[in-house]
Structure 1
């Protein structure tokens, strides 16, 4: 029987800060066959043991309703990022960060440091992504492609001030962790749809993997888990973007306005 210890090959250690993007459909079939609801607890306990009391686990709890006029509540607004993130958000030891679109559930030693971050711009240097990079954090992908999950690339795009994106403000009703209701404005570095900009990070992700920066383990049913270093990805991408600015996007005439 395949066990969660198959992840040992990734080399997660005490004190690590790990951001986890996931789709647990496949991996739960091998780790907790017939009991997908048990996988979240099994995985969480494994990761908590690996990073120890000095480590930190981060789960994306993104919800895009604020962009279309819905209100946001730190405690009540649901995650749209899958069952593992919902599990993490409901744990009594977790805290949720403040951005109403790109929020995270954080558990561990640095959770209060992350909880204090109130970045207006989703991907800025002051964001969770910037802090992850400065903390030499790692990014884990569970059965989810870089194209579908790597929001970190948008952080790099904002840091580089790319000309195919711009800052767009979103204003709405916001309930903070203390239950205080107010009207707040946050921004996202969005694509210029009028130019037909479409996110395509496959060229960059292939270069990064070919360079040997990504660790991976594969389970018998094809399930995979990848692990990479956020700062290594940042430095590699910045260097490659100077050589070829089209490594993170393409122009799609169908969406051009």
Structure 2
């Protein structure tokens, strides 16, 4: 099927465990779904309305990642009100909705709408992962992840939160001084990312080994691809458990060069 309609979207959501009152993180790559009928440009709006109706934003919450990693090592200011999302048309559509709340991180932000939008996205730490981060708050809530179009092993960043909490040796915290607009004032502030040692020459397996042993997701066909949902807490705990068994599970093999070894 090269096209999909609102009925296909609704049917796919019917097959997944997405309920009224849920907190749902959505990562959408609409390219893989095909063309929305009758008008492809309407796809982000129709999809948003279907999801908003499903969770009911008076009691539920929708989030999307609205990262802007291209700002790293640049002098381009981050303004949460105007800096566009770099993670697809659906992400940008949600970011620009009235009432949307965006977390304050120049490279790794999220935007939410609904009952818990303020509570989840406000007063976040300066690190993308770790205690009180967006991921930590979603794990605590047992929020759901909904991957649209692409397999979730290509869209999941919860695994990096697990890496942070376990303390994998091939990553370290890097500090950035970046210009931001806060309360209408341009100023330089400190922010942090969890990056890997270049010297390791690591080979990522794109979560393949972790996902091969994660049995808790749900899949529903839509257009040329599918919708896939799972509980973020379940996946986080699964990832932590696997990393405790094999600290290099996220890699094809342990690094041959280990600059972190004394």
Fold match, TM over 0.5? yes
2:247 alignment counterpart = 245
Unaligned runs of 5+ in 1: none
1:19 alignment counterpart = 25
TM-score (norm 1): 0.90
Q: Does 1:114 align with 2:117?
A: no
Alignment of 1:131-210 (within 5 A): 131-176=137-182, 178-200=183-205, 201-208=207-214
Q: Does 1:38 align with 2:53?
A: no
**Residues 224, 168 of structure 1: CA spacing in aligned structure 2 closer, same or farther, 3 A cutoff?**
same
**Residues 117, 250 of structure 1: CA spacing in aligned structure 2 closer, same or farther, 3 A cutoff?**
farther
Unaligned runs of 5+ in 2: none
1:230 alignment counterpart = 232
Deviation at 1:133, TM superposition (A): 0.4
2:73 alignment counterpart = 68
Aligned-pair RMSD on alpha carbons? Answer: 2.1
**Residues 183, 108 of structure 1: CA spacing in aligned structure 2 closer, same or farther, 3 A cutoff?**
same
Whether the 8 Å contact between 2:150 and 2:225 is mirrored in structure 1 is: no
CA displacement 1:18-62 (0-9 Å, x = unmatched): 001111123352xx3252211111111111111111100001111
Whether the 8 Å contact between 2:170 and 2:197 is mirrored in structure 1 is: yes
Q: Does 1:10 align with 2:16?
A: yes
Q: Does 1:54 align with 2:56?
A: no
**Residues 33, 244 of structure 1: CA spacing in aligned structure 2 closer, same or farther, 3 A cutoff?**
same
* Counterpart among 117, 125, 129 of residue 131 in structure 2: 125
Q: What is the CA–CA distance in structure 1 between the aligned matches of 2:88 and 2:136, rounded to whole Å?
A: 24
**Residues 256, 21 of structure 1: CA spacing in aligned structure 2 closer, same or farther, 3 A cutoff?**
farther
Deviation at 1:78, TM superposition (A): 1.0
Q: What is the CA–CA distance in structure 1 between the aligned matches of 2:232 and 2:39, rounded to whole Å?
A: 32
TM-score (norm 2): 0.89
Q: What is the CA–CA distance in structure 2 between the aligned matches of 1:233 and 1:204, rounded to whole Å?
A: 9
Whether the 8 Å contact between 1:65 and 1:71 is mirrored in structure 2 is: no
Whether the 8 Å contact between 2:67 and 2:86 is mirrored in structure 1 is: yes
Q: What is the CA–CA distance in structure 1 between the aligned matches of 2:63 and 2:156, rounded to whole Å?
A: 14
Give structure 1 regions of 4+ aligned residues with deviation exceeding 6 angstroms: 252-257
Aligned residues: 250
Whether the 8 Å contact between 1:72 and 1:175 is mirrored in structure 2 is: yes
